[in-house]
Amino acid sequence: MRRSMILMVALTALCWGQLVPTQFSLHKIVVDSTASYMVDSTSFAGLASNSILDIRATGDSLLFFGTSRGLSLTPDLGTTFRSYMVDKVNLPEGGISALAVEGDTITVAGMKDTVVAGSGKVMGTGIAFSTDVGDIWTCKDQPADESGDTTFLWVGNTVRQLAVTTSISNVTYDVAVSQGNIWTASWAGGLRRYDLDLPAGRWTPVPLPRDNDTTFSCSEIPEDYVLNPRDPGDGGNHNHKAFSVVAYDSLVWVGTAAGINKGIFNAATGCITWTHYKAQWGGRPISGNWVVALHRQVTADGKERIWAATVETDQSERRAVSFTEDGGETWYITLLGERAHNITSAGDAVFVATDNGLYKSFDGLNWARFHSAVDSLTGEQVWAEEAYGVLFDSRDSTLWIGTPDGLARTRDAGLSWEIERSFISTSDSGEVRFYAYPNPFYPAENNVLSGSGHVRFQYYINAGEIGTTTTARISIFDFAMDPVISLATRYHTGTGDFSQAWDGHNDAGHQVANGVYYCRLTLGGSEYWTKVMVIK
């Protein structure tokens, strides 16, 4: 729900899926059933949540999914899905706020809601990494400083800093892996680096230019420099609040609340030379200073583009997507007004996940938008405008989209879709035969598509109930048991889990009032009842 979102990231619920095979090929190596994510004691079948925030691929057949309730994966290009049990596999609590995959190294960051002095806050719950494609994990506390750490050493220089000693509001929104280093971009924690080659590594703060610095390097640290993520009015710098990071070869790109920073990293010395780009600076600048996502595209002819999703911080800036083809000197602005969450590419094609859905372009200037996905086999629909995560998997030419309402994929550019969703099967032992979710149902917030929210009714047809055709009809009544609406009759010719959505309107087309509604499923000759609370 939107009330739980952090940078438009929802925390949602429930789990379901299928079993994974005992073996599969990965990097030409057979991974056996002892891998942590293959063992029932450390994982469960299905996606961890319907809110899919990020998608990454590696090896021959493995994909990872960052969800609002943990880390999920498919070992076989989407035939089956499995999710880690956090307390069994040494992963951070809560939702996955950042996910990076580089070869065998997988890195995730966690976050969760908390309450401080009666006020709702978010907190980072740590960062975990695996160097063996997810078998064994190392989990570190959220990057922070000791209370007395008012200075730190950086390439032989003593740098002053404001010690960030708490995980409250210290959330890692992006991670990157390159040349044996993990780079983390955190709001309060700034940019930090972890050297995987060190036996007892630590998160080293990385100084970034101040808000009005155009360049910054190890050999030119001003005497009055302080690494401080507070607001400028409180002695800090917006450019020390990191939100996105891309690292490859000797380059590190960092998006902050005050623009984009391109760093040239000297792996031998650890020194980084920065160039800082802001929306207010001359020529053809980026569209906005709050840079919430970055992506590197390499086109079919070897041309490199850096993409940036920006949000405005004042009236001189624009919410849009920017890209550069000359290393940051000039920027092209596109998708004006769109709030983008993730960007990916495949050759000349680029895909941008936004609040208004998924966009695709071949030139960065002309865009086509995908409609909300409908499963070609079951008729299941993604009831959401937003697209959060996106990946084009070149291994089998599949486009994956993560939404607040499940995972969708297409192999034919959107002509047909398959949808994977997390839910509790009513066939499970001890579960009711018919239920509604989310419950309570907030029509203005839950599964909103074309201005209407949606609640789902879940049911199961077993072998004893199926005939040539089984009729399923859902009727909804108010508290006085007066009829509200009867949904379209469904005709089923097979067994399994099924669902049907209601948009919260009565048979006259009006939004129903707040209250408890009684819902009846007539399945063949049997009736099942459940309740749903509607809150506008």
CATH number of the domain residue 475 falls in:
2.60.40.4070
Average pLDDT estimate for 475-493: 93
Please give the pLDDT value at position 404. 95
* pLDDT over threshold 70, residue 22: no
484: part of which helix (H) or strand (E)? strand 483-486
Please give the pLDDT value at position 426. 83
Please give the pLDDT value at position 469. 76
47: part of which helix (H) or strand (E)? none
Q: Which residue, of 423, 457, 492, is where some domain finishes? A: 423
What letter represents residue 340's amino acid? A
Domain co-membership, 405 together with 466: no
User: Which of the pair, 495 or 276, is modelled with greater confidence?
Assistant: 276
pLDDT in tens, 41-72: 788 889 999 999 999 999 999 999 999 999 99
As a whole number of angstroms, the distance between CA 239 and CA 54 comes to 25
153, part of any domain: no
340, part of any domain: no
Q: 443 CB contacts (<8 Å, ≥6 apart)?
A: 452, 453, 503, 504, 511, 534, 536
150, part of any domain: no
Domain co-membership, 438 together with 529: yes
Please give the pLDDT value at position 253. 98
Say what percent of the chain tops pLDDT 90.
76
pLDDT in tens, 200-228: 778 999 999 999 999 999 888 999 999 99
pLDDT in tens, 322-374: 999 999 999 999 999 999 999 999 999 999 999 999 999 999 999 999 999 99
Q: How far is CA 216 from the centre of its chain?
A: 32
Count the neighbouring beta carbons within 10 Å of the beta carbon of residue 69: 22
Most confident of 111-120, 147-156, 295-304: 295-304
Count the neighbouring beta carbons within 10 Å of the beta carbon of residue 277: 24
* pLDDT over threshold 50, residue 27: no
Q: Which residue, of 423, 457, 488, is where some domain finishes? A: 423
Please give the pLDDT value at position 432. 84
Domain co-membership, 477 together with 403: no
Minimum mean pLDDT range among 66-75, 184-193, 246-255, 428-437: 428-437
As a whole number of angstroms, the distance between CA 230 and CA 233 comes to 8
256, part of any domain: no
119, part of any domain: no
Indicate the number of domains in the chain: 2
Please give the pLDDT value at position 464. 65
* pLDDT over threshold 90, residue 137: yes
Average pLDDT estimate for 138-151: 91
142, part of any domain: no
Please give the pLDDT value at position 467. 63
What letter represents residue 221's amino acid? I
Please give the pLDDT value at position 428. 74
Domain co-membership, 391 together with 445: no
329: part of which helix (H) or strand (E)? none
CA nearest neighbour of 205 among 268, 157, 259: 157
Beta partners for 456?
A: 437, 501
As a whole number of angstroms, the distance between CA 6 and CA 168 comes to 13
As a whole number of angstroms, the distance between CA 109 and CA 111 comes to 7
Domain co-membership, 526 together with 505: yes
Domain co-membership, 472 together with 503: yes
Q: Is the peptide bond before 404 cis (omega within 30 degrees of 0)?
A: no
479, part of any domain: yes
What tokens appear for 274 in the block? 């920065």
Domain co-membership, 490 together with 530: yes
Please give the pLDDT value at position 36. 67
Q: 242 CB contacts (<8 Å, ≥6 apart)?
A: 173, 174, 184, 185, 186, 187, 189, 190, 191, 208, 254, 255, 256
What letter represents residue 357's amino acid? G
**Average pLDDT of the chain to the nearest whole number:** 89
* pLDDT over threshold 80, residue 1: no
Give me the domain span that covers residue 408: 1-89+371-423
Q: Would you place residue 254 in the very low, low, confident or very high pLDDT band (cuts 50, 70, 90)?
A: very high
Q: Are 531 and 434 in contact (CB under 8 A)?
A: no
Q: Would you place residue 147 in the very low, low, confident or very high pLDDT band (cuts 50, 70, 90)?
A: confident
* pLDDT over threshold 50, residue 160: yes
Domain co-membership, 380 together with 459: no
Q: Are 343 and 307 in contact (CB under 8 A)?
A: yes
* pLDDT over threshold 90, residue 264: yes
Q: Tell me the CA end-to-end span of the chain in Å, nearest whole number.
A: 13
Please give the pLDDT value at position 34. 60
309, part of any domain: no
